[in-house]
Amino acid sequence: MNERNDGTLPEEGKMARRIGLFGAGRIGTLFLRNLALSGRLGREFDIAAIADREGDAGNLAYRLTHDSVYGKFPIDAHAEGGRLILAGRSIPVIESPGEASRMSWKAFGAEWVLDASGVSGTASALSGHLSAGAERVIVSGPAKGVKSLVYGVNHFDFYPETDRLVSAASCTVNCLAPVCCTLIREGIGIRRALTSTVHSATSGQNPVDGHVRGGWRTGRAAGPNILPFATTSPEEVGDVLPTLAGKLRGIAFRVPVSDMAVLTFDFTPDRPRDIREVMESLDRASQTYMRGVLGLENDPQVSSMRIGDPRSAVVDIRATLEANSGGERSLLRLVLWYDNEWGYVSRLADLVFSMAALESASRRRHKDEQQKEQSGRVARRDRTHAGSGKIRVVPARRPDLVGRLRHG
């Protein structure tokens, strides 16, 4: 099981959620891999159904078993009659109807839906899952008009009563936000910042020169080029850390490697700081409230060393820099490595689990309140019949489970 930093785990056997997976491309497939390898499949999550573009269970089993980045899958995955057999679980695989509203999630018993299709980027598109029978939808990427939650940063801001659509943000936001959160929490602060992200090529790029939306350079061939890409990820950090709204800007570059990303984070703290203070704060966080999310490495880093690392951000200690001006230590640089695939799906699984835990705690709390209210009504009725002073009502007391989950 991936490490979590909330300090509280709910009772096993009571937290499993039946998840419908909408889209089994790169992120959807690796999410399945992560659940199986971490032992969460069948214990914390059940996959009710998978809606894939082709609906080919055999091809999905093949891609799970043989991965060009992560190698041979050590857990059995094969197809039987249109179903994926994964770690002994039988999961129906169907052809995606395209639009979320055309799904039939109730027919498969799916409670929640993870939309990893990469095409549902708005609240209206994601709401189609709700009309198709889902109780809640999590999208693996940013979506307009949808609340963003980043595990380790603001995942306790999930409110089951109102948050039916949730975005897990992007892999870059999941890398950057924990570092920014730590700097704020440790009193270092961020006055302004610029980022440059060097990111592996993705399936949306062209193998040869062609035309795509998003600018002329975007359509150039992925293999022989380093391609500048516009990115809104730094600005989106302000969605999960409102105090940083408008303070971060950045640019991205796509490079011809199959996995991994590295981000340079140049920032000015709220007041002059020594880089040593910053590193001590990050190290302290990585061993406490950001454990399993944030890490530091002192070995000389190259990208292949971090493939398969489940942490959202790994600070390269040897690559940190500071620029002193007029005796003030005012400009600092951090270099952050992250596996944009495995690190992201690890946090995605953590986020879905924490949401399920908070929802279950909220339900138990609501049930307790109803029982107390019912006990109070019974006591008042009995007091009326028995006369005053003859009945002493001592309501049952239980801890506020939601409070424990929110504050650890």
CA distance readout (Å), 198 to 256, 276, 303? 10, 25, 11
Report how many domains make up the chain.
Answer: 2
241, 181 Cβ separation under 8 angstroms: yes
Helix (H, G, I), strand (E, B), or coil: what is residue 46?
Answer: strand
In a domain, 166, yes or no: no
In a domain, 137, yes or no: yes
Burial class (CB in 10 A: 0-12, 13-18, 19+), 294: buried
In this structure, the answer to whether residues 32 and 104 fall within a common structural domain is: yes
Clarify whether 171 is annotated catalytic: yes
CA distance readout (Å), 177 to 12, 53, 234, 244? 30, 32, 9, 10
Residue-number span of the structural domain to which 242 is assigned: 172-340
In this structure, the answer to whether residues 22 and 57 fall within a common structural domain is: yes
In a domain, 349, yes or no: no
Domain boundary among the residues 340, 374, 391 is at 340
pTM as predicted: 0.87
In this structure, the answer to whether residues 256 and 326 fall within a common structural domain is: yes
In a domain, 221, yes or no: yes
In this structure, the answer to whether residues 204 and 310 fall within a common structural domain is: yes
Between CA 325 and CA 327 the distance in angstroms is: 5
In this structure, the answer to whether residues 187 and 110 fall within a common structural domain is: no
In a domain, 97, yes or no: yes
In this structure, the answer to whether residues 215 and 124 fall within a common structural domain is: no
Domain of residue 247, CATH code: 3.30.360.10
In this structure, the answer to whether residues 308 and 205 fall within a common structural domain is: yes
Helix (H, G, I), strand (E, B), or coil: what is residue 386?
Answer: helix
- What does DSSP assign to residue 20? E
Name the pLDDT band for 213 (thresholds 50, 70, 90): confident
Which residues make Cβ contacts (< 8 Å) with residue 362, sequence separation at least 6?
A: 160, 161, 401, 402
For residue 60, what is the enclosing H or E element?
helix 57-65
Domain boundary among the residues 305, 340, 375 is at 340
Closest by CA position to 291, among listed 313, 275, 306, 276: 313
Taking 70 as the threshold, does the pLDDT of residue 141 lie above it? Answer: yes
Taking 80 as the threshold, does the pLDDT of residue 47 lie above it? Answer: yes
101, 132 Cβ separation under 8 angstroms: yes
In this structure, the answer to whether residues 120 and 219 fall within a common structural domain is: no
Q: In the prediction, which pLDDT does 115 show?
A: 97
In this structure, the answer to whether residues 210 and 332 fall within a common structural domain is: yes
Domain of residue 70, CATH code: 3.40.50.720
108, 20 Cβ separation under 8 angstroms: yes
In a domain, 381, yes or no: no
Alpha helices in 132-274 (DSSP H): 171-185, 233-240
Q: In the prediction, which pLDDT does 330 show?
A: 81
For 345-386, the pLDDT digits (tens) are 999 999 999 999 999 888 887 777 777 777 776 666 666 665
In this structure, the answer to whether residues 68 and 195 fall within a common structural domain is: no
Q: In the prediction, which pLDDT does 378 show?
A: 66
In this structure, the answer to whether residues 204 and 286 fall within a common structural domain is: yes
Name the pLDDT band for 326 (thresholds 50, 70, 90): low
Q: In the prediction, which pLDDT does 260 show?
A: 98
For 266-275, the pLDDT digits (tens) are 999 998 888 9
Taking 90 as the threshold, does the pLDDT of residue 3 lie above it? Answer: no
In this structure, the answer to whether residues 187 and 297 fall within a common structural domain is: yes
Between CA 293 and CA 224 the distance in angstroms is: 33
How large is the average pLDDT for residues 14-39?
Answer: 92
In a domain, 225, yes or no: yes
More confident position, 211 or 135: 135
Taking 50 as the threshold, does the pLDDT of residue 297 lie above it? Answer: yes
In a domain, 400, yes or no: no
Residue type for position 398:
R
